[in-house]
Amino acid sequence: AWGFWNFCHEAYQSTPHSGYRKVRQWGQKAPLGCFSFTSNIDSHWTASGFDSERVIEIHGAVKWLQCSKPCCADVWRAPKDLKLVEDVTHRVRGTLPVCPKCKAVARPNVQMFGGDANFSKARRSAQLNRYEAWLKKLESRPDYESLRLTCVELGCGLTVPTVRKELENVLQRFPSARLIRINPENPGLMQETADKGVSVPLAAGVAIDDISKRFTVQPLATFILWDQRGGGAEMRAPLQTSVGRLIRLCEMHGVLVEMSKTTSADVMTGNHSEHVTLERTLHVKHFKEVKATGKEFELTAVLQLRDAIFVNGPSSVLQSRIDSVGLFLDDVNRRFGDAKYQEEVQMCGDRR
């Protein structure tokens, strides 16, 4: 058996392809975080830089070992080099890894097909507990029903449909969740989820590249959000960002917002305002060109939140803008009150 596992262990030391990095970058854009739920046993998600606290290796991983008896549920990391040599008979030579407690031969912490009563579930259980806690935290949010939780399924077949079933379960738990099923051979959707998903019959690498390109072409705008107590935040975000996502982006950047199921916003345009819901994206008419730095102008929208409070008042970015405006007004008032300036004003025939 260790002839096979040694081959796997060495093969999985390879560098993950760029698709892993690109998907990780998608996750970094998600205000409420993300998880990788994988049936792969090569640990490539964590090797590519994905947070190990945000990965569920549902079938285990070759890079982790356990007792073969097992005498306990302990799981430990395998050394990078097992120092085993495989000859033409496919039997290894060298010292096999052993359990540190009972000294029995160790085995990879990988769940075998056909039933594997000796598989230690300790590591997987810890991963699943973190994952379930994250989902329950999302379910407890006031904006739970409008959360556009996106499940990206990459190359999950029908032979071992563990991942497919889990993502379909998530669709049932979150009313606004969506599924992107990327699979050149089995891209079909169940009738129950057809209206919440899209099939992409392409190889994973091709689909990932195409989706990544779409992330980079979104025009940005400046959004300024206020509550009714003087708290608020300012941020740059894609033009088509919904009100709910703007609030979640605030949270992503450490700005605490207390909201409720009735939270919404009024978009301020001159002397007028228009009420918008959390799921609503703003129309181009809601933006105005505002002078930024130098000669640059930025599309800017101002929103007054209803039934929401910025816990710590204005964010640091918005407070900096408030301070700058305050200094500018102080300077104007000081210059306006200067005696020489007032004398010059009195001498002007046209004071417009």
Q: Write out the binding residues for Zn(2+).
A: 67, 72, 99, 102
Give me the helices (H) in the chain, please.
2-11, 18-28, 44-47, 122-139, 162-173, 204-215, 243-252, 316-336, 339-347
Strand partners, 85: 93
Identify which of 135, 163, 165 has the alpha carbon closest to the alpha carbon of residue 147.
135
Question: Which amino acids are annotated as binding site, given as ranges?
Answer: 67, 72, 99, 102
Lateral strand order in the sheet of 75-77:
75-77, 60-67, 106-110
Catalytic residue IDs: 59
Identify which of 173, 172, 204 has the alpha carbon closest to the alpha carbon of residue 187.
204
Rounded to whole angstroms, the Cα distance separating 27 from 213 reads: 15
Q: How many residues does the chain have?
A: 352
Tokens 């000294």 locate to 103
Strand partners, 25: none
> Which DSSP string corresponds to 53-99?
GGEEETTEEEEEEEESS-SS--EEEPPS----EE-TTS-EES---B-
